[in-house]
Amino acid sequence: MFTEKEKLDNNLKIILNELCTMACGGNSCYFGFGLFLLILGLVIDVIGVASPYWILADEDGVKVNGGLWQMCTSASDVSECSDFTKVQDWLKAVRGFGILGILLLLLAVLTAFLRICMKDRACVLVLTIVLSFMAAVCIVISVSVFGKKYNTIVKNSSIFSFHYAFVSCILSIIISVIAGIFMIVEVAKRSSYTSMTGR
């Protein structure tokens, strides 16, 4: 027999699970948290790819920062930005994989929302997982090529350092992978529930 405390603990767990399921639109909170992370990863990746703060140099009051699209210089009260006119192939690859990562994350978010409408379709959730990991791989390639090339070009200069947009893209990789893991847990939880209930 259960004690009063065990009954209360069990009822509390059931209530919390039901509240969590209701808060996540009828899905488990693994799915809800995974969706939240996908959206967060997408926003952070867009900020990272679009910002001109992949690298930063500061010497004698002159600041130079650059990204994938433009280079900016500021000294005293004067600040000027210019777009890259001649783009080397490696930078085109970094841009391409960065944009591909954004598009794959966007598709992952859209398929996750589609999953809310199509609860019985596990394939939609599996597609979300695949897209989130593919996005992470594309962003890894983008960040790796950029880091390798800039280390080669700058040749260990102490005035240049990687800045927040570069770090944002790395953070987006981590968030995308964690979101994919939460979605995998959702699939595993759903398949174990289906095998237990036969539904």
Looking at residues 183-193, what average pLDDT do you find? 76
pLDDT of residue 197: 43
Number of separate domains in the chain: 1
pLDDT of residue 133: 97
Q: What CATH number does the domain containing 29 carry?
A: 1.20.140.150
Q: Using the 8-state DSSP alphabet, how is residue 156 labeled?
A: S
The token pair at 7 is 């009954």
Burial class (CB in 10 A: 0-12, 13-18, 19+), 2: exposed
Looking at residues 94-116, what average pLDDT do you find? 94
List the one residue out of 39, 65, 54 whose CA is nearest residue 94.
54
pLDDT in tens, 44-100: 999 999 998 888 888 777 888 888 899 888 887 788 888 888 888 999 999 999 999
Domain that holds residue 68: 4-197
Q: When comparing pLDDT for 6 and 166, which is higher?
A: 166
pLDDT of residue 58: 81
Q: Judge whether residue 168 has pLDDT over 90.
A: yes
Confidence class of residue 14 from pLDDT cuts 50, 70 and 90? Answer: low
C-beta neighbour count of 142 within 10 angstroms: 26
Q: What is the pTM of this model?
A: 0.80
Confidence class of residue 198 from pLDDT cuts 50, 70 and 90? Answer: very low
